[in-house]
Amino acid sequence: MSDIVIRAEHLAKQYTIGSIANSHDTLRDQLDAGLRALFRRNGQVSATRSTIWALEDVSFEIRQGEMVGIIGRNGAGKSTLLKILSRITKPTRGRAQIHGRVGSLLEVGTGFHQELTGRENVFLSGAILGMRREEIKRKFDQIVDFAEVDKFIDTPVKHYSSGMYMRLAFAVAAHLDPDILMVDEVLSVGDFSFQRKCFAYTKTLLERNATVIFVSHNMFTVTAMCDRVIYLVDGQVRLDGAAEEAIPLYEQESRLREATRSSSNGNGYSQEQPISVTDLTLLDQSGNPRRVFDYGERMRIRLQFQADQPVKNPNFVVAFIRSDNVACCNYVSGVDGLCLPQICGAGTVEVLTPPLRLVSDLYSLHVLVWDAEMQRRYFVQQTTVSFQVRHHLFNTHFGVFHEPGHWTWLPNEINIFSPAFREQTEEQS
C-alpha cells in the first residue's frame, strides 16, 4: 500500500468577483438563477462578470508522517487550497485524493454556534468533524482541559474572547485523532503558552505517523516546524522543496515587491535617491551566511551600495523590526563612530552587532540612508531580509530584548542597613 496520503492533481479554483456564484442553496435560489440565465440567453439582460483564479494547475503529493508548510503572500491561494483538501469547497478543475481521517482548523470556531454553550459546541463541532457521540463523551474532559476553558464551558460562546474561542476549536479538532491535520493561521490568535502546547501536540501526531499541513505567515514557526514547504505565488506552486530553500526565496521575492511598491513615496520625502542598496548579506561573527541566530550571538550585516553622485556625510541606518512591527533597535553609522566624509560609486559598509539580546521571534531589517543632520529627507529606504532569533525560554512575553539583572536575596534576619548586608552586596557587585 502506498504511503501517499494526499495527491493533488492539476487543482484549479475560479471565483466570480462581486457575486455569489452557483450557491443555489434553496428552491427559490435555483428558480431565480434559472430565470436570470434564461433572460441572459434571450439577450434581455447583459451583465459582465469578472472572475479570478485563486488556484491554477496545482499538483503535489504528501506522504504519511510529513509536516508540510504552505507559505505565500496574502491572496496566493493558501486558504483556498486547504478548503479544497478539507472538502469544504470543490475545485473548478482537477482533483484531490485524501486517504485517512482529516481534522481541519481553517477558521476560528469552525462549526460553533454563537448562542450555544461551550459544552454544546464541543458536541456540535465534534459531530461536524466526524466524531461519534460516544467518542466525544469519552474525550470531553481531555478537550476541556486542553482548551483551558473549564470555568466557562457552560457559558454561551458569544461571550468568549477570540483566544478562548480558538483554544476550544483547536482542542476539538486535535482530539479527533486525525490521520491528517490541516491548520491555517488561526494559531496566531492564542497566547504563546497555548501556541507552544499546540506545537507540542502536532509533534505527538507526527510521532504517531500522522500528517500535518501548516499554513502560516510566521517564517520562524515554519522554519522550526517544517522540513518541507510549498510556496504559492498567484495560485501556482512557485517552489515545492526544503524549507531552507523555499523561505529565502519567498523573503527575497516579497522584498522585491515591497521595494517596487515603495519606489513611489507619498510621505512627503524627497524623491531624489542618489544612493541605492544593491545587496544585503547577513553573516555570523566568522563571516558565514546565516538566517537563524541564537540568543547571545553576534551578527555581521554587510551592505553594498551604489552612489550615482557624490554624497557627503551619509548616515547608514539598520533597524531591527519584530514580526508584530515593533521597532526593537537600530544601528547608525555616524552615531556608532564611522565617519564617511563623502561617497561616490560602488561601496560596502558592514556593522558587527553586539551579542543579540533579542527574544525569540522573527525579525526583518529596514535599511535607510539619511543625510548628515538626520533630517526628514532621506536617500533610500528599503525593506530587506528577515532572520530568526532562537532561545528555548525568552519569547515575546519577555518584551523586545532580555538582559540579565543582578538579583539579591534578603533573608528576614539580615538588616539591610547592617554592615554584613553591605559587605554581601559589595562582594556580589
CATH architecture classification, 4-100+179-250: 3-Layer(aba) Sandwich (3.40)
Query: Do the Cβ atoms of 401 and 391 come closer than 8 Å?
Result: no
Q: How far is CA 21 from the centre of its chain?
A: 31
Residue 38 buriedness (CB in 10 A; 0-12 / 13-18 / 19+): exposed
Name the grid cell of 142.
Answer: 481531555
Kindly compute the dihedral angle of the four CA atoms of residues 40, 46, 51, 56, in this order, to the nearest 10 degrees: 50
Name the grid cell of 278.
Answer: 544593491
Amino acid (1-letter code) at residue 197: K
CATH architecture classification, 273-398: Distorted Sandwich (2.70)
Name the grid cell of 380.
Answer: 533610500
For CATH 3.40.50.300, the residue range(s) in the chain are 4-100+179-250
Q: For residue 265, what pLDDT is reported?
A: 43
CA–CA dist 146, 166 (Å, integer): 12
Which secondary structure element, helix H or strand E, spans residue 260, and what is its range?
A: helix 243-262
Three-class SS state of 244:
helix
Give the DSSP letter string of 59-91: EEEEETT-EEEEE-STTSSHHHHHHHHTTSS--
Q: How far is CA 2 from the centre of its chain?
A: 32
The residues, ordered by sequence, that sit 6+ positions from 25 with a Cβ below 8 Å of its Cβ are: none
Which of 298, 294, 322, 326 lies closest to 393, judged by CA? 294
How many of the other CB atoms lie within 10 Å of CB of 184? 22
Q: How far is CA 297 from the centre of its chain?
A: 24
Beta bridge partners of 349: 303
Q: How many angstroms separate the first and last alpha carbons of the chain? A: 68
Name the grid cell of 189.
Answer: 490568535
The residues, ordered by sequence, that sit 6+ positions from 379 with a Cβ below 8 Å of its Cβ are: 273, 274, 275, 311, 314, 368, 369, 370, 371
Which secondary structure element, helix H or strand E, spans residue 349, and what is its range?
A: strand 342-352
CA–CA dist 422, 5 (Å, integer): 68
Query: Do the Cβ atoms of 55 and 84 come closer than 8 Å?
Result: yes
Which of 268, 240, 238, 265 lies closest to 252, judged by CA? 238
* Phi and psi, residue 121, nearest 5°: -70, -30
Query: Do the Cβ atoms of 251 and 266 come closer than 8 Å?
Result: no
How does pLDDT run along the chain (429 residues), one tens digit per residue? 469 999 999 999 998 875 544 544 555 555 556 655 555 555 544 445 688 899 999 999 999 999 999 999 888 999 899 999 988 899 999 999 999 888 777 765 566 888 999 999 999 988 887 889 999 999 999 999 988 899 999 999 999 887 788 888 888 887 888 899 888 865 555 566 777 777 778 888 888 899 999 888 777 778 778 889 999 999 999 999 998 888 888 877 776 555 444 444 433 334 457 788 888 889 999 999 888 899 999 999 999 888 888 888 888 999 998 877 788 999 999 889 898 888 888 999 999 999 999 988 888 888 888 887 776 555 666 556 778 888 878 777 778 888 888 887 877 665 555 565 566 666 665
* Phi and psi, residue 398, nearest 5°: -90, 0
Q: For residue 18, what pLDDT is reported?
A: 58
Give the DSSP letter string of 175-226: TT--SEEEE-GGGGGS-HHHHHHHHHHHHHHHHTT-EEEEE-S-HHHHHHH-
CA–CA dist 336, 317 (Å, integer): 10
Q: Say whether pTM exceeds 0.75.
A: no
For CATH 2.70.50.60, the residue range(s) in the chain are 273-398
